[in-house]
Amino acid sequence: MFPTRKLLKGYVCPDYDSCTLSPCLFNHDKPTPTPPPLPPSSSSVPQKRPGGAGAQAGPSKIVRTVDGGIAPPRPAAVGPAQAAARLEARRAAAPPAPAPAKPLPTNINPPRVAITTGQAHTPSPTRQKLLTALYDQFLLNYAALPDPARLSLASLHALNQELALYNRSNKQTYRNAVISALARLKKRPPAQRVEETGTLEEDAERAKRLEEEEKGKLTKERVERFVSTKEVLEKFDYVVDVPAGRGGDAPTEEGNVRKCDRCGTEFVVKAELEETPCHFHFGRQITEKIGGVKHRVWSCCPSPNAPTCQSGPHVFRDSDLAVLHSRIPFIRTGLISTASPSSPALPIIALDCELVYTTSGMALARLTVIDHNSVVVLDEHVRPQGTVLDLNTRFSGVKEEDVASAVLDARGVRDKLGELIDEDTIMVGHGLENDLKAMRIVHLRVIDTAIIFPHPNGGTWRHALRNLTREHLGKFIQDGHSGHSAVEDSEAALELVRYKMKQTAGR
């Protein structure tokens, strides 16, 4: 027999009425019947103790703690309504619960390792395991992005990252290369935009590009050394002093005899077109070696003694400062500047002007100005002075509708420019002496790309802007038939200054 330890005395014997075992392991005491449940009270108000309203409550029971102290009395019972009110008050006073954080899905459709041709230096299961680790890390880095973009970008960049590491490693270095990449990815700040995502290699390229942009950032201090002196400007035919006299006394040449700028024929300047047009070459004369012999030919018709290829009205231009001053008076920058502390002048601008032939000579028809970040700050067509003889659209890009819709004249657009500049503003351009003459402005803070990129022949020989842009920037400009783009020319001049600044940095 097993020794009895009264382990089953708490259970009534199943054969309570007919059990014959002695002793029995179960309990044989008469079970106490369970009292029936009390009926629910008709009122939730607690009943008064016997004795009436004047009866005194008995002494409260003193409850002592384990260490002998007196426990505080229990709070009085409250009804359901009071309990609900207290609960609502607590909820109102409690601070709002923070929104649950978006769960980061891990291993949701992880990408599969790319199959490479040839003999693999690392087994595919090993590569897949490390690819999944990269994918999980990219998911963490892109946690702030919306789910569709986060999952797709994490998959794409994990694949590209693993493949890049695989291609530049071997069997011995592959695992360590991935572990090192994971460590670098963990240190990378979380991406807040799609533009901030990418592999480690793309991160390096982005950082290098930003460094180059910072290195090429144009400031007055960095480009100050390229500003030409007054003597150099005079050498390159800049107007450095306002001509004598009041100016503006001969606004047009109508009725006078002038020499055609294209064919050399003398003609009377009239607002009406001549019956006998001018025949000319639109290109310029260049030297070409033909059959071993040098010939002067036209760039538009590069063959000796080529017949003229264009026809149009006779036109003329003025180069004498006194004559230009008599058309529209010259003025210094300081007299047109309206910059103020609330609207300061721009430190650096690049500009380009387009000219057309009129009865007043070459007249301003468009002014384009960009700031040092290549943002267009002024681009205005101008009502030319005098009657238009030829829009010269092949080179100016100005059309009849542009002149018809122009609101400002040369003086008006000059005042508009005065809102952006002052005497200390550095102007950038190519052959700016012609632009300043067209606007009748005397300005001495100039960076001319025709000067800072000297011609090998020396003197005042100049490279064409399109040649400088092609040689140093690898870009092609002025190659269309609809005329030059003033914005494109201004941006090219600014980029050439930036290129020159980088090339001479530290010198």
Q: Which two tokens stand for residue 75?
A: 């709070």
Decide if pLDDT at 51 tops 50: no
User: How far apart, in whole angstroms, are the C-alpha atoms of residue 463 and residue 9?
Assistant: 116
What residues does 448 pair with on adjacent strands?
Answer: 429
pLDDT of residue 120: 87
Q: Which residue has the higher pLDDT, 43 or 464?
A: 464
Residues 6+ apart with CB under 8 A from 247: 325, 326, 328, 329, 330
What residues does 354 pair with on adjacent strands?
Answer: 366
Residue type, 84: A
- Report cis status (omega within 30 of 0) of the bond before 23: yes
Q: Which residue has the higher pLDDT, 86 or 441?
A: 441
Q: What sign does the CA torsion over 193, 199, 200, 206 have?
A: negative
Share of the chain above pLDDT 70, in %: 81
Terminal CA-to-CA distance of the chain, rounded, Å? 109
Decide if pLDDT at 166 tops 80: yes
Q: Which two tokens stand for residue 385?
A: 């002075």
Per-residue confidence band for 421, with pLDDT thresholds at 50, 70 and 90? very high
Per-residue confidence band for 106, with pLDDT thresholds at 50, 70 and 90? very low
Task: Give, in degrees to the nearest 5, the angle at Cα 386 between 379 and 489.
Answer: 30
Q: Which residue has the higher pLDDT, 8 or 142?
A: 142
Per-residue confidence band for 287, with pLDDT thresholds at 50, 70 and 90? confident
Q: Which residue has the higher pLDDT, 115 or 76?
A: 115
Per-residue confidence band for 289, with pLDDT thresholds at 50, 70 and 90? confident
User: How far apart, in whole angstroms, are the C-alpha atoms of residue 54 and residue 266?
Assistant: 136
Per-residue confidence band for 56, with pLDDT thresholds at 50, 70 and 90? very low
Q: What is the mean pLDDT of residues 20-27?
A: 74
What residues does 383 pair with on adjacent strands?
Answer: 409
Q: What is the mean pLDDT of residues 36-50?
A: 50
Residues 6+ apart with CB under 8 A from 324: 243, 318, 330, 361, 437, 440
User: How far apart, in whole angstroms, are the C-alpha atoms of residue 415 and residue 408?
Assistant: 10
Q: Is 312 helix (H, G, I), strand (E, B) or coil?
A: strand
The lowest-confidence range among 80-89, 184-193, 264-273, 443-452 is: 80-89
User: How far apart, in whole angstroms, are the C-alpha atoms of residue 196 and residue 145?
Assistant: 11
**Token pair 């700040």 is at which residue?**
189
pTM: 0.62
The lowest-confidence range among 62-76, 112-126, 398-412, 450-464 is: 62-76
The lowest-confidence range among 39-53, 265-279, 488-502 is: 39-53
User: How far apart, in whole angstroms, are the C-alpha atoms of residue 278 and residue 280?
Assistant: 6
Give tens-digit pLDDT for 474-495: 988 876 555 568 899 999 999 9
Fold of the domain built from segment(s) 230-244+329-503: Nucleotidyltransferase; domain 5 (3.30.420)
User: How far apart, in whole angstroms, are the C-alpha atoms of residue 238 and residue 330?
Assistant: 12
The lowest-confidence range among 165-174, 269-278, 363-372 is: 269-278
**Token pair 């005065």 is at which residue?**
418
Decide if pLDDT at 57 tops 60: no
Helix 410-418 / helix 432-439 crossing angle, nearest 10 deg: 110
Q: What are phi and psi of 377, to 5 degrees?
A: -110, -15
Domain boundaries, the chain: 124-215, 230-244+329-503
Task: Give, in degrees to the nearest 5, the angle at Cα 481 between 296 and 299.
Answer: 5
Q: Tell me how far the alpha carbon of residue 216 is from its chain's centroid.
A: 16
Decide if pLDDT at 40 tops 80: no
CB 328 within 8 A of CB 439: no
**Token pair 């351009």 is at which residue?**
429
Q: Which residue has the higher pLDDT, 302 or 492?
A: 492
* Half-sphere exposure in the Cβ direction for 373 (13 Å, CA): 4
pLDDT of residue 37: 57
DSSP-assigned letter for residue 172: T
pLDDT of residue 506: 60
**Token pair 């002067």 is at which residue?**
296
Helix 174-187 / helix 200-215 crossing angle, nearest 10 deg: 50
Q: What is the mean pLDDT of residues 321-335?
A: 95
Mean pLDDT across the chain = 84
Give tens-digit pLDDT for 136-153: 999 999 999 998 889 999
SS3 of 96-154: the string is CCCCCCCCCCCCCCCCCCCCCCCCCCCCHHHHHHHHHHHHHHHHHHCCCCCHHHHHHHH
Decide if pLDDT at 101 tops 50: no
Cβ atoms within 10 Å of 489's Cβ, excluding its own: 24
Q: Which residue has the higher pLDDT, 83 or 349?
A: 349
Task: Give, in degrees to the nearest 5, the angle at Cα 154 between 151 and 159.
Answer: 125
What residues does 12 pair with on adjacent strands?
Answer: 27
pLDDT of residue 96: 61
Per-residue confidence band for 187, with pLDDT thresholds at 50, 70 and 90? very high
Which of 225, 490, 440 is CA-nearest to residue 333? 440
